[in-house]
A and B are shown apart, each in its own frame.
Chain A
Amino acid sequence: MHLRMEEKEVPQTDAVRAKLGRAIVITSGKGGVGKTTTTANIGTALAQRGASVVLVDADVGLRNLDIVLGLESRVKHHLLDVLEEHVSLDDALVADKHSASLRLLAAAQSREKEDVDTEKMRALIHTLRERFDYVLIDCPAGIELGFKNAVVGADEAIVVCTPEVSAVRDVDRVVGLLGNAFKPQLIINRLRPQLVKKGKMLSVEDVNAILRLPLLGVIADEPEIIVATNRGEPLALREDAPTGAAYRAIAARVAGDDVPAPMPSVALTFFERLGSMFGGKRS
């Protein structure tokens, strides 16, 4: 581990931890599969459980995590300000509105991914691991330098995949690039159980027959997710939202709780029950 950044240059409000926190990169290869929403919700759910969490938006040039969390008006400094030592880490960490133990380190919007120094990024993530229980890194789409910089300090990976040919192919590629060292775990996002039942969408089994990864959970494609993003309030906060419960279950599994992987379901109609009686149920 290269630590170019001197630790004393980062003022510390929290006590230095005896044990390093976990650095988990949330990645997918393909864009638009829900990495950022997933990061915001798992981070929120972990913080609601009492853990200290920092979310790092590594998507330099396309900052979005602040929007999903509703923190866009609070961002004053960003990742590159910290890496280039223009501001202290504490000045750049944005306190969350809803969860006291949640912080955001926003991406630079007007910079490029090539501006990030890989070794400095590695050192920064290490510094964050000394201060937080969880460092969740929201990876940009692609497998170029932005991906490499997002992954460099992480020791675990969560891959987000939608039930589409292109997304599965890209996850397959990313998992190949990551190798086993990151112990990648899978979240299947935007599943539409009704379509799966009709045989019009790849099922969880179809996807994981190919990827063969430990399944953290499945998130259904629900309108409430769009509403939550519109408002900048992660669903994980909402006790009444089914998707919120799914994110909380995923967070519990990340934390090591022995709870079942959340799985969306649909009630069978009479004719579908009849059909599955004759034709054999295909989920």
Chain B
Amino acid sequence: MIDFLKKLFGHSGSSSTAKERLRLVLMTDHLELAPDMIDAMKRDLVDVISRYVEVDRDKIDVTFEQQDKALAMLANIPILSVNRANGQPAPSVAVAASAEPAPAAVATAPAAADAPAPIKRKRRRRKKAKSQGVAGVPETAPA
């Protein structure tokens, strides 16, 4: 309802797009990570996860979020099936996550999250790694 009214009264402009782009571009500026470096990081991350589960490479979404002074990397990786028996039932089909921001709490645990927040009938799994801050390079989760 409120969202509808906000839309009605013109509260959904392009400034949020500008803010998001600015945040991302400054993040890469400060990290001194070029976009292709981030792509490479994404690739490596997926390679590691792929050793354990089969993921949908085309629908991977990696974003960065400023949380107070720290920078958090949020990866949304749809899982197609589990390759190895590790106690988790394999979801039949994972659906690409929406672009909505991740929950505020960022898991610092490096292991793959075993609390995949299932949303309605869709299953998805969030993998989170927290970086050391502006100057730090985000750590990819070890397998």
Contacts and interface: CB of A to CB of B under 8 A. Distances in A.
B3 to A, nearest CB: 8
A201 B13 CA distance: 8
B88 interface: no
Given A165-B21, A196-B15, A271-B9, A279 B2 contact: yes
Contacts of B23: 210
Given A169-B26, A173-B29, A202 B10 contact: no
A169 B25 contact: yes
Contact of B5 (A168, A198, A200, A279): A279
Contacts of A38: none
B18 interface: yes
A199 B19 CA distance: 11
Contacts of A201: 13, 15, 18
A278 B1 CA distance: 9
Which label, helix, strand, loop or mixed, suits the secondary structure of the A interface? helix
B24 to A, nearest CB: 10
Nearest to A274: B9
A209 to B, nearest CB: 9
B12 interface: yes
Contacts of A164: 18
**Which residue of B19, B22, B23 has the most chain A CB atoms within 10 A of its CB atom?**
B22
Interface in B96-140: none
Contacts of B6: 275, 278-280
Interface in B1-46: 2, 5-6, 8-16, 18-19, 21-23, 25-26, 29
Given A199-B15, A206-B15, A279-B2, A168 B22 contact: yes
A275 B9 CA distance: 5
Interface residues of A, number: 25
Contact of A172 (B14, B15, B29): B29
A253 to B, nearest CB: 26
A7 interface: no
Contact of B19 (A173, A206, A271, A279): A206
Contacts of B15: 196, 199-203, 206
Given A199-B14, A201-B15, A275 B22 contact: no
B8 to A, nearest CB: 7
Nearest to A203: B15
A271 B5 CA distance: 11
**Which residue of A165, A169, A202 has the most chain B CB atoms within 10 A of its CB atom?**
A165
A77 to B, nearest CB: 41
B19 A275 contact: no
B26 A172 contact: yes
Given A275-B6, A278-B5, A199 B12 contact: yes
Contacts of A280: 2, 6
Contacts of B22: 165, 168-169, 202, 210
B38 to A, nearest CB: 17
16 contacts: A164-B18, A165-B18, A169-B29, A173-B29, A199-B11, A200-B13, A202-B15, A206-B18, A275-B5, A275-B6, A275-B10, A275-B11, A278-B2, A278-B6, A279-B5, A280-B2
Interface of B: 2, 5-6, 8-16, 18-19, 21-23, 25-26, 29
What are the 4 closest A-B residue pairs judged by CB atoms, nearest first? A275-B9, A199-B13, A200-B13, A279-B6
Given A206-B15, A278-B5, A278-B6, 19 more contacts: A164-B18, A165-B18, A165-B22, A169-B29, A172-B26, A198-B10, A198-B11, A199-B16, A200-B14, A200-B15, A201-B13, A201-B18, A202-B18, A203-B15, A206-B18, A210-B22, A275-B5, A278-B9, A279-B11
